[in-house]
């Protein structure tokens, strides 16, 4: 079955409160997706963001981002008065998320809602806490203690609680009891609101493609609460950290800094943590995209403390042992493997053996540093093709930034001639939807024909990423109709 979808992070939705959230605008976006004949809404990871505001560096592999909680929904529950938050400064630029102002103003108003909620008498809340206790207790304690230590990561805490000594754990649970309950409340509201939005989307024929990072952040409840999962020394410091080697896009490589898994330990447990994580994901999403799939074949290990990724090296990952365990537990499940970048024969074999669809990026087809397998005539059915991803430039800006030789190839391939930017963008969209790939996904920025200012992320940079937002009213009925028609033309409805 040929299908298509749109990539738009929740944070990029319009809303009056500084960041996209599970508000009325999210439901309006779903309505437009349905009107446009789309099968999928692809999002970025939903976790609470840490350093650099990246959704791929989250405080938890399980928790949801409190910024996405809809304040209007809390007002409807009687927990807030709209006047209490209408006057707050969440940022003045409707095109950009201001994370500093969000951090300053979001949590106090959420705390006010919590203090009015009387959660001790709420049976649904108590039931949620019991069901999610396997991760929620460690997460709520982690965030409460983190606040106690002025936001520092757990590696900078006092040794007794850093090493989770029983007397310290008991002492901090008592000291931070109310703050822990606040963080439980945030997760309860997040889960309740997300379930409602997902059910609305599913009822209108729209499925959610979720996204999970292969790694967890070092500054996370996961690495603090379960150090045995990772390559830590006796003092629970990383022996090595994750990243990518130097390539044509980055001379120093990418130093992500995530702790590396102790795959021998995971194998001994039957990959129990991964099974638990995926079970949680399939409650949140209809399809799961796993970032950096090649890390399951071989992972790039960088010595802890290195300033760049240049000194790293490749080490063997779990391979099919992990996916055999997942298959034995789940059976056939919809997973997308993010297999971009340099792929060795062993990675290609792992992808084939897993049966998961990989990814193709149309922009790479006309980049002489990539090309090859990304040319449309080399695609297979079992893949998901994108014009670009959250890590790529928008189509409009990408074409302008091509070398003269690459631009000439792209122009000849599509017979572009002398056309406008929007005509050129739509030519690449049609090329993408016209491929044999079973699924085609286009970022919302490309359908809007936006330039470089709408780029979501530029890897290996800090300070200006993850901020772009769509304006309310931009996804018009006229645009939805045009998107639907091109999907119909290429048999994707």
Q: What is the pLDDT of residues 42-52, one digit of tens each?
A: 999 999 998 78
Q: In the predicted model, what is the mean pLDDT of residues 187-207?
A: 98
Its pTM stands at 0.96
Residue 457 in this model has a pLDDT that exceeds 80: yes
72 is catalytic: no
Confidence class for position 242, pLDDT limits 50, 70, 90? very high
The three-class DSSP label of residue 231 is coil
Is pLDDT at 342 greater than 80 in this prediction?
A: no
Evaluate if residue 330 carries a pLDDT over 90.
yes
The predicted model gives 421-430 an average pLDDT of: 98
pLDDT at 371 over 70: no
Residue 370 has pLDDT above 80, yes or no: no
**Mean pLDDT confidence for 413-432:** 96
CB 128 within 8 A of CB 191: yes
418 catalytic per annotation? no
For residues 469 and 96, is the Cβ–Cβ distance under 8 A?
yes
**Which of 338, 367, 370, 446 is labelled catalytic?**
338
d(CA 136, CA 48): 13
Task: Report the pLDDT averaged over residues 96-117.
Answer: 96
Q: Which residue among the candidates 28, 155, 324, 391 is catalytic per the annotation?
A: 391
Query: Is 298 assigned a catalytic role?
Result: no
Residue-level pLDDT at 368: 81
DSSP character for 455?
-
Domains of the chain: 3-489 (3.20.20.80)
Q: Of 458, 464, 433, 428, nearest to 446 (Cα)? A: 428
What are residue 72's DSSP bridge partners? none
Model confidence pLDDT, tens digit, residues 306-321: 999 999 999 999 999 9
pLDDT in tens, 249-300: 688 898 999 999 999 999 999 999 999 999 999 999 999 999 999 999 999 9
**Residue-level pLDDT at 439:** 98
**Identified catalytic residue from 262, 291, 324, 400:** 291
- Average pLDDT in the chain: 96
Of all residues in the chain, the percent with pLDDT exceeding 90 is 92
> Residue 190: which residues within 8 A CB-CB, separation 6 or more?
63, 64, 65, 66, 68, 69
Task: List, in sequence order, every residue forming a beta bridge with 300; answer none if it has no partner.
Answer: 314
């Amino acid at each position: 079955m040929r299908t298509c979808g749109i990539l738009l992070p929740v944070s990029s939705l319009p809303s009056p409160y500084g960041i996209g959230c599970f508000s009325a605008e999210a439901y309006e976006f779903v309505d437009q997706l349905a009107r446009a004949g789309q099968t999928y809404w692809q999002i970025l990871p939903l976790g609470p963001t840490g350093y650099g505001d990246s959704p791929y560096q989250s405080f938890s592999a399980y928790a949801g981002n409190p910024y996405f909680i809809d304040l209007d929904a809390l007002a409807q529950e009687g927990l807030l008065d709209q006047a209490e938050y209408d006057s707050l400064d969440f940022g003045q630029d409707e095109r950009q998320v201001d994370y500093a102002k969000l951090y300053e103003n979001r949590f106090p108003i959420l705390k006010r809602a919590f203090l009015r909620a009387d959660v001790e008498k709420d049976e649904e809340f108590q039931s949620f806490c019991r069901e999610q206790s396997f991760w929620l207790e460690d997460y709520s304690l982690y965030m409460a203690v983190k606040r106690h230590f002025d936001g520092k990561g757990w590696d900078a805490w006092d040794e007794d609680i850093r090493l989770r000594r029983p007397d310290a754990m008991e002492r901090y649970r008592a000291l931070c009891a109310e703050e822990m309950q606040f963080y439980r409340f945030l997760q309860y509201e997040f889960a309740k609101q997300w379930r409602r939005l997902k059910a609305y989307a599913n009822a209108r024929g729209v499925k959610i493609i979720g996204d999970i990072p292969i790694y967890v952040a070092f500054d996370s409840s996961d690495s603090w609460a379960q150090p045995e999962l990772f390559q830590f020394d006796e003092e629970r410091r990383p022996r090595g950290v994750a990243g990518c080697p130097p390539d044509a896009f980055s001379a120093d490589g990418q130093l992500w800094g995530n702790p590396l898994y102790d795959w021998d330990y995971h194998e001994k447990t039957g990959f129990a943590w991964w099974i638990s994580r995926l079970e949680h994901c399939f409650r949140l999403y209809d399809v799961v995209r796993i970032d950096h799939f090649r890390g399951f074949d071989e992972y790039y290990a960088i010595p802890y403390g290195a300033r760049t990724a240049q000194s790293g090296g490749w080490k063997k990952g779990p391979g099919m042992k992990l996916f055999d365990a997942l298959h034995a537990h789940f059976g056939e499940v919809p997973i997308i493997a993010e297999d971009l970048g340099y792929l060795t024969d062993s990675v290609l074999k792992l992808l084939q053996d897993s049966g998961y669809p990989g990814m193709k990026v149309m922009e790479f087809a006309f980049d002489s540093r990539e090309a090859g397998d990304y040319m449309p005539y080399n695609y297979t059915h079992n893949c998901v093709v994108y014009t670009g991803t959250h890590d790529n430039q928008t189509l409009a800006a990408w074409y302008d930034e091509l070398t003269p030789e690459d631009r000439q190839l792209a122009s000849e391939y599509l017979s572009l001639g002398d056309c406008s930017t929007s005509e050129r963008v739509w030519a690449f969209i049609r090329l993408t939807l016209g491929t044999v790939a079973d699924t085609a996904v286009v970022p919302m920025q490309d359908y809007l024909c936006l330039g470089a200012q709408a780029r979501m992320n530029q890897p290996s940079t800090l300070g200006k990423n993850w901020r772009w937002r769509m304006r309310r009213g931009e996804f018009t009925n006229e645009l939805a109709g045009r998107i639907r028609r091109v999907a119909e033309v290429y048999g994707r409805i």
